[in-house]
Structure 1
Amino acid sequence: MASNTSLTGVALVLALALAVGGCAVDGQSTPGALESTGTVPTVAPPTEPATDPTTDPPDIDPTTPEPITPSESGKPVVGGVGVLISNAGWTAETGVTVRGYADTIDAAATCTLDLSKAGTTRSVTSEALEGPTTMSCGELIVGSDALSSGDWTAVLSYKSTTAWGSSAPVVVTVP
């Protein structure tokens, strides 16, 4: 039983020597081997960089709210929004019909179609309708009796208490 204990002790000493960083063969140290000094080297734990929790990140003004987009929250955008004419055309029966939408969601808003030609403007306004991701302007019509022949420029505008915008102009030809 005594020989078992001494073999276990020798194995433990050998395992510790190898774990410390190397071994010696014929009196020669291999790379990583430590000379015996009777002390075990210690390594200090890594330190984290100091941060000051009282400083704000640069270039952020906490008093200015960030604009909210419908894709993030489903709430109205504060400020300018994109407005798009999705369809514009003329028929003899109805006149100029324009359809479009605003890239926001709002509780109450209006859409206005302005048709202009050579200093003359015809306007019509309708209530915007809330859709799943946009506000639809529906169908805005300027009757054919209010329009003379020629190229009319259509601009669709959107306005609510929190958001507004106008489309790019679209030319509609009245024969």
Structure 2
Amino acid sequence: MLPARSPLRPLVVVVLAGVIALSGCATPPGGAASPISPSPTESAEPTPQASQTPGEVVESPAPSPSAVDPGEQATVMFITLEVIGGTLEATGTVPDVVEEGGTCTLTLTQGDATRTVEASTATGPESTFCGLMTIPSSELASGDWQATLAYHSSARSGVSETESVTLP
């Protein structure tokens, strides 16, 4: 005589097969995207200076489209522009452009004050993405700031439309 079968056995087999099948869809720890590290600079042109400390945000003029235009015009758009936990955070995209080696520059302006921070880019299947750019809120006066996001590479450049962000 055969041992009695558990009524849960077929269910366990189906669930286990589903878990194994879906495990191939899982995102690796840290996410699927390449890590992107922001690097603050003094201007829209990457010119590191010995006196500049990592993470330092310095005043510089806002880039104009003609100042960063080496070739073909690119569309640049913000993905995020918000204050989270005492830090202004911004990310962006350059749709329909897939290329390595570009730089994104976030420029914030309030009256005569200007703050700029740069980030490297990462490519996706149909776009280039600007890495996370952050500025501590403590380094920015409260009120409304005007923000632009510029993209620059050896082949193309562009500047986003101006967005407004309010700091408490």
Which residue is equivalent to 1:114? 107
Which residue is equivalent to 1:85? 78
1:96–1:109 CA distance, 2 compared to 1 (3 A): same
Which residue is equivalent to 1:171? 164
Which residue is equivalent to 1:98? 90
> C-alpha separation between the residues in 2 aligned to 1:94 and 1:100?
20
> C-alpha separation between the residues in 2 aligned to 1:155 and 1:95?
17
Q: RMSD value over aligned CA atoms? A: 1.1
**Correspondence 1:39-78 to 2 at 5 A:** none
Say if 1:99 and 1:140, in contact at 8 Å, map to a contact too: yes
Figure out how many residues of one structure are paired with residues of the other and give that number.
97
Say if 2:100 and 2:121, in contact at 8 Å, map to a contact too: no
Matched, 1:154 2:151: no
Q: Runs of 5+ in structure 1 lacking a partner?
A: 1-77
**Normalising by the residue count of structure 1, what TM-score does the alignment of the two structures yield?**
0.53
> C-alpha separation between the residues in 1 aligned to 2:81 and 2:130?
13
The SS at the match of 2:138 is helix
Following superposition, the deviation at residue 146 of structure 1 comes to 1.1
The partner residue of 2:134 within 138, 141, 145 is 141
Give the residue type in structure 2 aligned to 1:123. T
> C-alpha separation between the residues in 2 aligned to 1:152 and 1:95?
14
Question: Which structure: larger Rg?
Answer: 1
Q: Higher relative contact order by CA 8 Å / sep ≥ 6: 1 or 2? A: 2
> C-alpha separation between the residues in 1 aligned to 2:72 and 2:160?
15
The percentage of aligned residue pairs carrying the same residue is 30
Q: Runs of 5+ in structure 2 lacking a partner?
A: 1-70
Give the residue type in structure 2 aligned to 1:169. T
Larger helix proportion of the pair: 1
Following superposition, the deviation at residue 131 of structure 1 comes to 0.9
